[in-house]
Amino acid sequence: METWAGFCPGLHLSLSIWLMIAAHTLQNTKAEITCASCPSPVQLHLENLQLGMRTEPTEQPSTLKSIRVEFRELGVTDQNNGVDDEHETGVSQGEDAALQRAKRSGPEFAEFGVTGMDTDASEDRGSLLDAHRQGRSEFRWNRDEGRGNNRQDEPRLTSSTFALTGDSAHNHAVVYWSGQNSSVILILTKLYDFHIGSVTESTLWRSTDYGSTYERMNDKVGSKTVLSYLYVCPTNKRKIMVLTDPEFESSVLISSDEGASYQKYRLTFYVLSLLFHPTEEDWALAYSHDQKLYSSVDFGRKWQLIHEHVTPNRFYWSVSGLDKEPDLVHMEAHTPDGNVQYVTCRAQMCTEANRNYPFPGYIDISSLVVQDDYIFIQVPTSGRATYYVSYKRESFIQTKLPKYSLPKDLHIVSTDEKQVFAAVQEWNQNDTYNLYLSDTRGIYFTLAMENVKTTRGIGGNQMLDLYEVAGIKGMLIANMRQDNQVKTYITYNKGRDWRLLQAPAADLDGNDIHCILPFCSLHLQLQTSENPYLSGTISTKSSAPGIIVATGNIGAELSYNNVGMFISSDAGNSWRQIFEEEHNMWFLDKGGALVAVKQPSVPTRHLWVSFDEGRQWTQHSFSSVPLFVDGVLVEAGAENQIMTFFGHFSHRSEWQLIKIDYKSIYSRKCTEEDYQTWHLHNQGEPCVMGQKQIYMKRRPGNYCMLGKDYSRILSAESCICRAHDFECDYGYERRGDGNCRPAFWFNPSTVSRSCSQGQNYLNSTGYRKVVLNNCTKGVKEMYTARKQQCPKRPPKGLLLTTKDGKLTANLGSNVTFLVHLDEGDSLQTNIQLDFGDGTAVSYSNLSWTEEGIKHIYKSAGIFRVTALAENTLGYDTTTLFLHVTCPVEHVQLLAPFVVIRNKEVNITAVVLPSHSRTVTYFWWLGNNTEPVITLDGSISYTFPTEGMHTITVQVAAANTILQDTKAIAVKEFFKSLLLSFSPNLDEFNPDIPEWRQDVGRVIKKAVLQVSDFPEEQLLVAVFPGVPTAAELFLLPHKNQSEGKKKSEEELEQVSNIIVSALNQNLVEFELKPGVRVIVYNTQLTLAPLVDSNPRHSSSAMLMLLSVVFLGLAVFLIYKFKRKIPWINIYAEVNQEKEQEMIGSVGQGDSTPKITLSEFSTSKELMEKELDARVKRGVGNACESTREIPNCTSV
C-alpha cells in the first residue's frame, strides 16, 4: 500500500494526483504505503521512484542528449516534486531512496541534466526524472511555431541571455530561485559519470540581478570541492545547504546569506535524504547510506544519531496540533530479528528507554505513513493485506473496505479534506484500480469509481489516470476503462456522480464537430509532468479556478493520435480547442494570463500569451536564436514579472539561461472595473458540493496586470440538501434506480458491540453525506443516520485470534489473544477464555479484553484454546488450536543394522528435547523419492530387495529442521553375535556416532584376524550408551546360487569359530598406547562367560541350556508380542510404547543370545545421552535461562 497526499507548508498549488506503481508488484498481495503531502503532482509509488518525461504512446525521436531533470519540493530533500503557487520547487533523490514522500524537499529548484547517447539515465543516483532533449542540430527551425485563434503584431519582450561558460560538458544542473521578491538565483551544474556512479566535476553559479548575470562561486566553496546537491530551508529561504559528493569527501556547506558565503562542516555519514522541520528553521533529519537516521537542531552543523536500521523515506516530523512535542519523530525501524516496528521518540532524546511503540506489534516494511490527521500501517498477515488507521493519534483500528474487495495493492491518494481518498487494486484487476472514499475517521470506505486506467511510464512504472482539479473542492477527472475502451469522466461531488466531457462544438477553423454523447466525447490525457518546469498534459491553478488546459482528443475513446490542446473556462462544462499540437502551458500573473511554448522536441524562439482564457493568443519572441527549452522558471513574487528559460542552442553548447521580463506586455494594473463575477456550476446546476459559489475573475481581454493576489470566492451560499449530496454508506451499493441497497455480504441489522443497554446508536439509512458538502435541510434528515436505543441481543459472531495472526508460538513467549464479537452488548457480556493447559480466565465484560489477553505456555504441544461469550440472552463460543513449539536440538535414528527381506521392520526417531504432537517427521525410505510424512516418531517398513538401503529422517519443529541417516543391510538370512568389552573401554567412550563408527572398524579388523571370512560380509555395529556393547553380523555372499542351506552352514561354521575365539579372549585391540580392550561374546550376563579348561563340562552344559532358554524366550516374544521374527521388541512402559534398544536380528537359534531387557531401552539411552550432553555443556536451548521453562510435552 502506498500513499501520497496532504499539503506542504507554504505550498498552495492545486493537488494533482499521480499514482506510480512498480509493475512487478502486481505479482504480490503485499503492498506498501507511501505518501506525499505536497501538491502537484501527488505521486504514489511501490518501489524506487523512476519518473520520466511522458513518451507513450508516441514514438520518440532520436536523442543526441538526454536531459535529466531533478527537482525538489519545499521543505524536503530526498525526492519530491511539485510547483508552488508562490514559488517553483522541486526535489532530488538519492540512489537508494525507495520512495518519494511528502514534505521531503529542501530547495525550490529544478535540476536539469544532459547526458550523452551512451549513458543510461536510469543509473543516475540523484535524478528522479527523465526528459529527453531531441537532436539539437538535426532540426530546422520552423517559423510557424504554433497555431492560435488569432495572431497580432508581436510586442517586444525585454530579455537577456547568459551562458554558463565552461560547463558544456556538465550534464546536470540544479536551479534555485526563492521567487519571494528575492533577486538571487543559484545554479549548481555538475558532471555525473554514469560509469562510476558519482559526480566528478561541479560549478556553483550565483546571480543577484534576477538572472541577468552570474558569478562563479567555486572559490568560495573550495576550488577542488565537488558538490552534489543544493537544499534550501523552507521556513527561511536565506539558509542554504550544499552537500559535497561523498566519493571525494563527506561534508556540508552552510550559508545564511542566500549563498553569498559558506561554512564547511565534516560529516561522518553519507546523506541520502533530508527532511526539514515544518516550522523550526534549524531542525532537520538526515537519512544515511547505512540506514541510520540523524537529527540536527543547528541547521546541519552537528548531528546526533536517532535510530539505526530505519526504512528509507519512512520517517516524519511531528504534526502541529496532534503531537505534543514539536521535536517528535515518527519512524519505521527494523528489529534485530528482521521484523519492523512503528517507533516514536524525540529527536535529541531517542534512547531505548525514551522510545514509544504506538502500535503494539510488527508491521509490514514501507507501510508507515504519518499524514495530516491520520497514521496508516499495514500488518503482516498470511494471504491477505490488513490495513490499520489511527485518527488524530487515537488507537489503531482496522480499515473496512467492502468485504470482497481483497486488495492486492492500496494507495492513499489524499487526506487533506477531512477524509481518506484511496486507490485499490482488487484481486481481479491487473491494469486498473478502484477509487474509494472514507468517512472522516478514515475507517469505512465506499466505492467512488471502478476500473480507473493506468498508464505505463518510462521506468516501467504505472501511473493512475486521475487528476484533482485545483481551486474547486470535490472536482476530479479520471479515465475509466469500460468495455475495452478508455473514456474521460468528470465529477463535481467527490465521485458521487460522474459524466462524460462534452466535446467542443467547432474546431480551430470554425468547422462544426458532430460529437454526440454518449457515443462521442472529449477525452483528456491526465499525466502531470515529472519536471515541474514543463507543464505535462493537464494544468490547473488554484488562483485561476475554473480554467483547465489539457491535451486530448475527440472521439469514442481516449487516443494518443491526432491530439490537440483544449481549454475550459467554466470548470469543465464546455471546452474549446486552442492548438493542434501539444504545448507546455504556464499560468502567469496569478493565473491572469496563459503562456504556451511548444514541446521541447524542436527548438523555438517564440512563446504565446493569452489574456482572455485562451480565446486569443499573442506571439512574442524571447530569443534571437531558436532554443531547445528544457524548462521554464516562473517568478512568483508580487513586484517582478520575470520568467527564466533554461535550455541549449545545440547539443554541444553551454547551458543558456534567458531572463524574460514580461511586464512590458501589460498596459496597466487592473482596477475594480476589470473584474467580473463567475458562477460555478455543473451543467447549469448552481449547487456544487452543497453550495452556490461565486468567483471574481478578470474580464477576458483586459490587458491589465493583477499584481498582488485578490479574493477568488466572492460568496458561497449553502443549498438545500438533495439526493446527489449523499453517497452510499459502508456496506451499501448503488443500484440501477440510483438508490443505495445493502450488499449481499452486509447485514444492516448488525449493531456495534460497543452499543450497551440503555445507550443510543446511529442506525444508518444506507446513505452518508459527502464529506465537506455544505448543504442544509432538505432531505438531510431523511438520509442522515437515526439515533436509536441499543437493543438487547445475545452474543453472536465471536472470533478468537492471536495478535500477530499466527497459530504458532515459541515456548515461553508471551501469547496475546484477541477476542472479537460482531454482535452483542459488550458491557453485559461475560468472556471466558480457556487456554487449554489447565488454566482459564474470565472477564465481566468485553471492554476488559480490548488490549488482548496474554498468556505464557510452560510446555510444548498443541493446545485447544476456547472462548465463550455469554449473557442472559444466550452465548457463543469459538475454538483456536495453538501450536506451542520448542526448537529441536538433536535427532537420533534408531533402526536395526541388518533386516530380513520382505519382513516388516520398525524404525524410530528420537528427538531431544522430547515433545509430542508438535514435531513433523519426514521419512525417506529405501530408494523412494518422496518422503512419508508422519506426526509419530516411529514407522514400520518392509524392504522388498536385498542390498544396502539408506533411511533418512528429517524432524521439523518451529523453525528448526534436523536430519539423521542410517544404512541398513537387507538380506534373506544372516547370523549375528552380541559383543561386550572389557570395562576400560567405557572410560574412553564419548558416546557420539563418529566414535562408534571408528571403534566398529577396529573391532571388525580384530575379528578378521581370527577368522578367514570375507571383509565385505562382516558388519560390526556399536550401540549408543554405556556400558559399551556391539553386534557382529555375518552376512551371506551376494551370489546365492549354491543354495540357501549351504550358505547357512557356512555362516554357522564361521560363527562357531568366532565364538570360540571370543571365549578364549583371542579377539582384542589397542585403543591407545597402553590400553588394550578385550572383546567378549555376550552371554546371559554382560560379564564374559569363558572357561578355558576343557575338563569343566558343566560350563558347556550351562551354555547349552542357556541357548535353549534364550531360543524359547525369543520364540514366545515373536509369537505373542510382535509376530515378526527378529525385529525390535516393544514393552509397555508408563502406559506408552517405547522401543527397546536393539540392532540384533539373528536367524539361527544355536548362537548364544540374551533377552533385550538386559540392555537399556531407547528412552533410557536418550536420557543417558541427554545427561551426557548436559555434562558436556550442550544442554537444552529452552533451559538456557531460568525464565524459559523446560521443553516438556503435554
Kindly report, residue by residue over 638-648, the tens digit of the pLDDT: 456 788 888 88
pLDDT of residue 566: 97
DSSP string, 934-993: ESSSEEEEE--S-EEEEEEEEEEETTEEEEEEEEEEEES--EEEEEEE-GGGGGG----H
pLDDT digits (tens, 9 = 90+) for 102-147: 233 333 333 434 333 333 333 333 322 233 333 333 333 333 334 4
* Contact yes or no for 800/832 (Cβ under 8 A): no
Instruction: Output the CA–CA distances (angstroms, integers) from residue 559 to 462, 521, 555, 913, 944, in the order listed.
Output: 18, 12, 8, 69, 72
H or E stretch at 822: strand 814-823
Cis peptide before 57 (omega within 30 of 0): yes
Cβ-contact 713, 596 below 8 angstroms: no
Residue 166 confidence class, pLDDT cut points 50, 70, 90: confident
Out of 152-166, 704-718, 888-902, give the one with best mean pLDDT.
Answer: 888-902
Among 606, 320, 423, 557, which residue's Cα sits nearest to residue 18?
A: 423
Residues sharing a CB contact under 8 Å with residue 1116, sequence separation 6 or more, in sequence order: none
C-alpha cell at 423: 486507490
- Residue 51 scores a pLDDT above 60: no
pLDDT of 251: 93
C-alpha cell belonging to residue 954: 528429517
pLDDT of residue 528: 77
Q: What is the pLDDT of residue 947?
A: 86
Residue 402: enclosing H or E segment and its boundaries?
none
Residues 6+ apart with CB under 8 A from 795: 821, 823, 824, 829, 869, 870, 871, 874, 875, 876
pLDDT digits (tens, 9 = 90+) for 268-326: 999 999 999 999 999 999 999 999 999 999 999 999 999 999 999 999 999 999 999 99
Say yes or no to pLDDT of 156 above 90. no
CA dist., res. 1120 & res. 1147, Å (int): 18
- Tell me the pairing of strands 1068-1072 and 1029-1034: unpaired
Indicate if the pLDDT at residue 689 is higher than 90: yes
3-class secondary-structure state, position 338: coil
1096-1113 mean pLDDT: 47
Question: Is the CB of residue 445 less than 8 Å from the CB of residue 519?
Answer: no
CA separation for the pair 94, 291 (Å, rounded)? 12
First to last CA, the chain: 42
CB-based burial label for 684 (10 Å; 0-12, 13-18, 19+) = exposed
* Other C-beta atoms lying within 10 Å of the C-beta of residue 145: 21
Question: In this structure, how many other beta carbons lie within 10 angstroms of the beta carbon of residue 287?
Answer: 30
Q: Which residue has the higher pLDDT, 533 or 717?
A: 717
Asked whether the beta carbons of 966 and 1024 are under 8 A apart, the reply is: no
Q: Which of 478-482, 932-936, 1038-1042, 1115-1119 has the lowest mean pLDDT?
A: 1115-1119
C-alpha cell at 1039: 551370489
What pLDDT shows up at residue 422?
92
Give the 3-state secondary structure of 4-73.
CCCCCCCCCCCCCEEEEEEHHHHHCCCCCCCCCCCCCCEEECCCCCCEECCCCCCCCCCEEEEEEEEEEC
pLDDT digits (tens, 9 = 90+) for 1022-1032: 988 889 999 99
Query: Which tens digits make up the pLDDT trace of 858-886?
Result: 888 889 999 999 988 899 999 999 999 88
Model pLDDT, residue 709: 58
Instruction: Please report, for residues 265, 693, 853, 885, the alpha-carbon distance to residue 808 in angstroms, rounded to integers and kept in the order given.
Output: 52, 59, 16, 7
Cis status, amide bond into 1027, omega within 30 of 0? yes
pLDDT of residue 707: 63
Cell of 1038: 551376494
Q: What percent of the chain has pLDDT over 90?
A: 38
SS3 state at 155: coil
Provide the 8-state DSSP code for 1118: I
Residue 429 CA to residue 539 CA, distance in Å, equals: 29
Average pLDDT over residues 43-65: 31
Coil/strand/helix, residue 839: coil
Residue 811: per-residue pLDDT = 86
Q: Is 1077 helix (H, G, I), strand (E, B) or coil?
A: strand
Mean per-residue pLDDT for 647-670? 84
Bigger pLDDT: 1126 or 402? Answer: 402
Query: Measured between alpha carbons, how far is 773 from 762 in angstroms, rounded to an integer?
Result: 20
Alpha carbons 909 and 1162: distance in angstroms, whole number: 10
Which of these ranges, 197-201, 421-425, 1037-1041, has the smallest mean pLDDT?
Answer: 1037-1041
Strands 445-456, 51-52: parallel, antiparallel or unpaired by DSSP? unpaired
Highest mean pLDDT among 465-479, 842-856, 1107-1121: 465-479
Q: Is the peptide bond before 1014 cis (omega within 30 degrees of 0)?
A: no
Residue 582 has pLDDT above 80, yes or no: yes
Specify the higher pLDDT residue, 377 or 946.
Answer: 377
Cβ atoms of residues 1114 and 1149 within 8 Å: yes
pLDDT confidence tier of residue 1128, bands split at 50, 70 and 90: very low
Strands 548-555 and 564-568: antiparallel
Angstrom distances, CA of residue 222 to CA of 202, 217, 258: 11, 9, 17
Task: Confirm if 147 and 619 have CB atoms less than 8 A apart.
Answer: no
Give the tens place of pLDDT for each residue, 1147-1175: 333 333 333 333 344 445 445 544 544 44
- For residue 446, what pLDDT is reported? 95
| pLDDT higher at 591 or 857 | 857
**E strands along 457-495, which residues?**
461-464, 466-468, 476-482, 485-491
942-988 pLDDT tens trace: 988 888 888 999 998 877 889 999 888 888 888 889 999 999 999 99
Q: H or E stretch including 437?
A: strand 432-438
User: What is the per-residue pLDDT for 721?
Assistant: 96
Least Cα distance to 1055 among 1106, 1007, 1112 occurs for 1007
Q: For residue 1110, name the pLDDT band (cuts at 50, 70, 90).
A: low
State the pLDDT at residue 382.
Answer: 66
Helix ranges, 328-384 (H): none
Between CA 1128 and CA 1139 the distance in angstroms is 7
Q: What integer is the mean pLDDT of 568-584?
A: 94
Mean pLDDT of the residues in the chain: 77
Tell me what pLDDT residue 760 has. 82
How many other C-beta atoms are found inside a 10 Å radius of the C-beta of residue 330? 20
Name the residue with cell 534436523.
Answer: 962
Cβ atoms of 522 and 593 within 8 Å: the answer is no
More confident residue, 602 or 1065: 1065
Burial (CB < 10 A; 0-12, 13-18, 19+), residue 88, is buried
Q: What stretch of H or E contains 922? A: strand 920-925
From 393-402, 695-704, 1098-1107, the region with the lowest mean pLDDT: 1098-1107
Calculate mean pLDDT across residues 657-668: 84
Q: Which of 367-381, 646-660, 937-951 has the weakest average pLDDT?
A: 646-660
Q: What is the pTM of this model?
A: 0.70
Q: pLDDT value at position 598?
A: 87
DSSP per-residue codes, 306-333: EESSEEEEEEEEPPTTTSSSTTEEEEEE
Give ∠ CA 1068-1071-1074 in degrees, rounded to 5: 95
**Mind giving me the DSSP string for 1120-1162?**
III-STT---EEEETTEEEEB------S-SSS----GGGS-BH
